[in-house]
Structure 1
Amino acid sequence: MQKLKARFRVINFIFYILLISCSIFVILDTFVIPHKSNLTSNSNKNEEILNNNDMDDSSEENEEDDINNSSVATITDNSYEDENISIKITTERANDTTYYVADISLSDSKYLKTALANDTYGRNIKETTSVMAQNNNAIFAINGDYYGFRDYGYVIRNGVLYRETANEDNDALVIDNDGNFSIVNESEVTANELLNEGAWQVLSFGPALIEEGEVVVGKNDEVSQAKTSNPRTAIGQVDELHYIVIVADGRTSESEGLSLYELAQVMKEYNCTTAYNLDGGGSSTMYFNGEVINNPTSGGSIGERSVSDIVYIGY
């Protein structure tokens, strides 16, 4: 009888160890271990189109012209201007919060781009916003939608479809080939339909803040599990090739953070006709001319959080 009890204790101990090990693996696999993902069949087709375009002689000439224009830019601590790109950054204060406003005008939508961490699509593949910005020679950059933290939500980047699994009833931001913004509900349209209609970027976080010039979030609306006041990142369109980006500091004694409604009100003050909430909290980062402009707070300390992707301005 004693031997049988001892055997059961050993079996229970082994089972307990296996259970703990499996739980640890699931957590690591979900949040830590990088997983490179394959493109969809449509994405491969898009990549072929992009590669063919890159081989076009006129594109090479345009790229040389762009580089020449950027080399004669007028640059200050809070502004950048050349023949194609104008960026002006101001620091504002409201609702016990410091936030940074980037007013951006472009000559062509091709200067509004996105990039993935390590130039690779997949889960738990991450870099800081500043590192991704530097790797892509970005003039200006913000964190994106942190697509790699989820297994759902449309992902289209620079005309390539990476993920077509919808985040049901979620607002997604669509940026088309002309650089125009629109908001769609992922339950009402497929990623392939968006691609066929000319979507160049699709970001899935949300919610939408402004549509057709009107605030579309209420005072009590909030991202799931988020605090009412938070560091925030938002992007909006004023008119053709004219954009506003706001990044707010938060979670510190110096800067409380903004609610979604407060963020929407600020975007409306800057005359945005469409505005969208990107990943916030510890992810919120604004990069400009080699420097991080805001004060990202991650894990209770000041510093950048590594994320999956960025939205940036550059050549």
Structure 2
Amino acid sequence: MHHSPRRPHRVRRSLIASSAAVALAAGGGTVWALDRYVIDHVEIASASEYEAEVLGTDDGAADADAADTTSDSETATASDSSDADSPEVTISTYTYGDGDYAATYYVADVTFSDITQLQSAFANDEYGTNIIDDPSEIAEDVGALFAINGDYYGFRDTGIEIRNGVAYRDEGTRTGAVIYEDGTMEVYDETATSAQELLDDGAWLTLSFGPALVDDGEIASDLDTYEVDTNFGNHSIQGDQPRTAIGMISANHYVFVVVDGRTDDSAGVTLEELAEIMQDLGATEAYNLDGGGSSTMVYNGDVVNYPGGSGEERGTSDILWFG
């Protein structure tokens, strides 16, 4: 694995910390909420170095592949003709529904020569809770050609989190998704296994948000009642919302979907509608990632979609990317 040099921490983080310090006098409840949901808690200061140490690899600068690009209002295609092993990606724009319920969504259809080309990156290269940065900034830090937001692991302290072949968290809680080194993907019950068992089976990445959208080619049931969390952070999981999802068509052939929402031009979609989109794209397995204001697709340094209904990115803790 190769990683590009990281830039210094940004002013945004110190501003949040300063605001939090001022608010500490407001009472115990406020102190608890700030500590749990706002103040950074860094557990690993350099995730890239940690991964290199665990995997026994050298940590070096990433070489972002040069890409020949064509684009119009509907489709952008990228491939590196000088490197036959580079991922092949086509980005297309679609509309779901019509009238007031129409939604714009973006599909990246990607074929990997090796699934380890798909990687995870953390905001500021730090692992912990409440550490955030804009998806495009995280993508720039690692030299990503393409990126989507991940599962916002840093908002919660539960779930099984394996990133780039390294286990970071082993607190099985919900329905997760695992991508194996053979290029296949499964949705699974986190409470029925462990991070080590998944690694022993060849896990490369796991994601912990949900729900599962498609399993064995069939749309999952009970999507309208799924809860990621039982706290106030679960407020936007149901209804028409901006969405992000990942799906496997076949081994090493994936689709990444981001849906715009909360605007006059794009209402967003329900989880059931997102599952239909993934199934129509040919996904045999599909999984819902963090949505709402987090839903972001980045390609070649530009934000492809219109995040959060405002067009402004929202900080998140992690991305999925390839160079």
Please name the residue that 1:127 is paired with: 133
Q: CA deviation at 1:310?
A: 0.3
Superposed counterparts of 1:60-209, under 5 Å: 70-71=65-66, 73-77=67-71, 78-82=76-80, 83=84, 84-95=86-97, 96-167=102-173, 170-209=174-213
Percentage of identical aligned residues: 44
Q: CA deviation at 1:49?
A: 4.5
Superposed counterparts of 1:147-296, under 5 Å: 147-167=153-173, 170-218=174-222, 220-223=224-227, 224-226=234-236, 227-296=238-307
From the superposition, tell whether residues 211 and 219 of structure 1 become closer, same or farther in structure 2 (CA, over 3 Å). closer
| Greater CA drift, 244-253 or 73-82 | 73-82
**Structure 2 counterpart SS, 1:54:** coil
Which structure has the bigger radius of gyration?
1
Q: CA deviation at 1:22?
A: 2.2
| Cα deviations by residue, 1:250-278 (Å, 9 ceiling, x for unpaired) | 11121111111111111111111110000
Please name the residue that 1:5 is paired with: none
What CA distance in whole angstroms lies between the structure 2 residues aligned with 1:148 and 1:215? 28
Please name the residue that 1:3 is paired with: none
Q: Is the 8 A contact 1:180 1:240 kept in 2?
A: yes
What CA distance in whole angstroms lies between the structure 2 residues aligned with 1:179 and 1:161? 18
What CA distance in whole angstroms lies between the structure 2 residues aligned with 1:288 and 1:133? 9
| Cα deviations by residue, 1:88-124 (Å, 9 ceiling, x for unpaired) | 1111111210111111111111211110111110011
**Structure 1 counterpart SS, 2:224:** coil
What CA distance in whole angstroms lies between the structure 2 residues aligned with 1:37 and 1:220? 35
What CA distance in whole angstroms lies between the structure 2 residues aligned with 1:22 and 1:270? 49
Q: Is the 8 A contact 1:295 1:302 kept in 2?
A: yes
**Structure 2 counterpart SS, 1:205:** coil
| Root-mean-square deviation (Å) | 2.4
| Cα deviations by residue, 1:34-76 (Å, 9 ceiling, x for unpaired) | 001159xxx97x75342x3338xxxx9xx99x76xx33x3212
What CA distance in whole angstroms lies between the structure 2 residues aligned with 1:221 and 1:243? 27
TM-score, length-scaled by structure 2 = 0.80
Q: What letter matches 1:115 in structure 2?
A: A
Q: CA deviation at 1:219?
A: 6.2
From the superposition, tell whether residues 178 and 296 of structure 1 become closer, same or farther in structure 2 (CA, over 3 Å). same
From the superposition, tell whether residues 18 and 274 of structure 1 become closer, same or farther in structure 2 (CA, over 3 Å). closer
What CA distance in whole angstroms lies between the structure 1 residues aligned with 2:297 and 2:225? 24
Q: Is the 8 A contact 1:218 1:261 kept in 2?
A: no
Residue ranges of structure 2 left out of the alignment (5+ in a row) = 1-22, 228-233
Please name the residue that 2:12 is paired with: none
What CA distance in whole angstroms lies between the structure 1 residues aligned with 2:24 and 2:144? 47
Aligned length in residues: 279
Residue ranges of structure 1 left out of the alignment (5+ in a row) = 1-16
